[in-house]
Amino acid sequence: MKIVALSCTQRRLPSLTDALLEAAITGVTREVGDAEIQRIRLIDHRIEMCEGEDTCLDPEVGRCTLNDDFERVIELAEGAQAMLLAMPVYAGNVPAVLKIFQERLKSFMNSTQRPFGNMTVGTIVHSRTMLTEPALASLFPWYLRLKNRNVASACVTQNNHQDLARTAAPDLCVAVGRQLGMTLNGSRSSDHHRAALPLVQSPPRPRCGDPVASFPGA
């Protein structure tokens, strides 16, 4: 099973984002024995900003016409069924490198199969102080548009800790990866392997105007 590990940091290696992402990878590979991890660091690819001309939406064009590494990143993710996404918060929202990538994916808006879509997702967001939750929330419209399903998230802040990697943050990220893996394993289990719960039907409720039963002492 192919799983994309998408790092959205804007720093070169080593980075805290990549360390937390590696912890999540450890978790998912613990649960999914046949996991094929495709690591993608957006900052390592030259992805230009969308120019907003919408020529990519023309059926006769059908693709983004900018000449950069965007299509290479799309090719790397081809065939993936799940994604681990890790990102820092720089200014209360998603980092610029991810926002640019999100806008470039617009070129597939009219496609039947949209890259980075129809995936089961686990998300990791970290920051120095706060605003991790609003940044996480800003991802969900993008996930919904791509028909992705986020099944686990971790938001961690550095605050007064000198090294977030020496706190419980990596353990939280391992848990995100494990939850993603268990969800993927569950989706692969056929229905006849699952225990069927008994069907419990409630007694019919009286309708307005029906005679009311009398009880002693009522």
Q: What is the pLDDT of residues 150-178, one digit of tens each?
A: 999 999 998 888 788 788 999 999 999 99
Q: What is the pLDDT of residue 55?
A: 83
* Residue 33 DSSP code: T
Q: What is the pLDDT of residue 165?
A: 79
Question: Tokens 């912890």 map to which residue?
Answer: 23
Give whole-number Cα distances, 122 to 88, 176, 177, 196, in Å: 15, 6, 7, 28
Q: What is the pLDDT of residue 199?
A: 62
CB of 101 closer than 8 Å to CB of 76: no
Q: What is the pLDDT of residue 195?
A: 52
Q: What is the pLDDT of residue 204?
A: 72
Alpha-carbon distance of 14 to 21, in angstroms, equals 12
Of 71, 73, 83, give the one whose Cα is nearest residue 35: 83
Strand partners, 14: none
User: Alpha-carbon Rg of the chain, whole angstroms?
Assistant: 23
Residue 40, judged by CB atoms within 10 A of its CB (0-12, 13-18, 19+), counts as buried
Q: Which residue positions in the chain have pLDDT lower than 50?
A: 191-192, 215, 218
Question: Tokens 């690819």 map to which residue?
Answer: 45
Q: What is the pLDDT of residue 163?
A: 82
CB of 143 closer than 8 Å to CB of 150: yes
φ and ψ at residue 49, rounded to 5 degrees = -70, 145
Residue 127, judged by CB atoms within 10 A of its CB (0-12, 13-18, 19+), counts as buried
Q: What is the pLDDT of residue 213?
A: 55
Residue 100, judged by CB atoms within 10 A of its CB (0-12, 13-18, 19+), counts as middle
Q: What is the pLDDT of residue 65?
A: 85
Q: What is the pLDDT of residue 197?
A: 56
φ and ψ at residue 136, rounded to 5 degrees = -60, -45
